[in-house]
Amino acid sequence: MKMIKATNICKSFDGEEVLSGISFEVNKGEVVAIIGPSGSGKSTLLRCINLLEKIDSGDIIVEDEIMVATNGAGKAIYAEKKELRKIRLKLGLVFQNFNLFPHFNVMKNITEAPKNVTRVSKEEASKIAEELLVKMGLEDKANAFPCQLSGGQCQRVAIARALALNPDVLFFDEPTSALDPELTIEVMKVIRKLAEEHMTMVVVTHEMGFAREVADRVIFMDNGVIVEEGAPEDIFTNPSNERTKQFIKGFNA
Nearer to another protein, 89 or 225 (CB): 89
Residue 187 and residue 210 in contact, taking contact as beta carbons nearer than 8 Å: no
- Which string of DSSP letters, residue by residue, matches 111-130? HHHHHHTS---HHHHHHHHH
Q: Tell me, by CB under 8 A, how many residues bind another protein.
A: 27
DSSP H stretches of helix in the chain: 42-49, 81-88, 106-116, 122-135, 151-163, 181-196, 208-214, 232-237, 242-252
Query: Looking at 16-24, 26-34, 113-121, 176-184, which segment touches another protein (CB under 8 A)?
Result: 113-121
Instruction: State yes or no: residue 214 binds another protein (CB under 8 A).
Output: no
CB 142, min distance to another protein, A: 15
CB 223, min distance to another protein, A: 25
Query: Looking at 44-52, 132-140, 174-182, 220-228, which segment touches another protein (CB under 8 A)?
Result: 44-52
CB 221, min distance to another protein, A: 21
β-partners of residue 6 are: 24, 60
CB-neighbour burial class of residue 17 (10 A; exposed 0-12, middle 13-18, buried 19+): middle
CB 36, min distance to another protein, A: 22
Instruction: State yes or no: residue 135 binds another protein (CB under 8 A).
Output: no
Instruction: State yes or no: residue 161 binds another protein (CB under 8 A).
Output: yes
CB 89, min distance to another protein, A: 5
Distance CA 63, CA 87 (A): 9
Nearer to another protein, 15 or 102 (CB): 102
Using the CB atoms, write b or e for 131-164: b if 16+ within 10 Å.
ebbebbebeebbeebbeebebbbbbbbbbbbbbb
Nearer to another protein, 103 or 249 (CB): 103
Residues that bind another protein (CB under 8 A): 50-52, 85, 88-89, 91-93, 95, 97, 99-103, 112-113, 116-118, 145-147, 161-162, 165
